[in-house]
Amino acid sequence: MDEILGQVLRNAVWERLDLLTELANEADAPSLLSVARSELPRLTEGWRALLAAHEPDEKGNCPECSGRWRQQKSPCSVWRAAYEHLVAGGLAPRPARHLRSAPVTPPVTRSRRGVVRAH
């Protein structure tokens, strides 16, 4: 039963992320504004809850990523991913359009079924 529930939960989350990506890429401006107003607070609260669970303990270890026999020093992979996606990715300087090289392969994302798709 736990496996089935886990798969249902994972599928629901992947489907929601797929929907939000589709809306971000294809929605008209008024629809996009409406989605942003409703979804951004939910997404930021989700990130806050996830990061709070991964706050380092008094020894500097992540309580969620650490196991009985192996301690994971902070910052753990969750904090590194948060920084990469929320801070560095948004602030990283981009070269002028005429100086950018063409990508060798199209960017890919992981869908809810683990299939890699090109954009």
CB-based contact 109:119 (threshold 8 Å)? yes
On average, the pLDDT of the chain sits at: 82
Q: How far apart are CA 115 and CA 111, in angstroms?
A: 5
pLDDT in tens, 14-71: 999 999 999 999 999 999 999 999 999 999 999 999 999 999 999 999 999 999 899 9
Residue whose structure tokens are 């359009």: 97
Which range, of 22-36, 60-74, 82-96, 104-118, averages the lowest pLDDT?
104-118
Q: At 71, give phi and psi (nearest 5°).
A: -95, 140
**Per the structure block, which two tokens stand in for 77?**
């992979």
Please classify residue 14 by burial: count the beta carbons closer than 10 Å to its beta carbon, then call 0-12 exposed, 13-18 middle and 19+ buried. Answer: middle
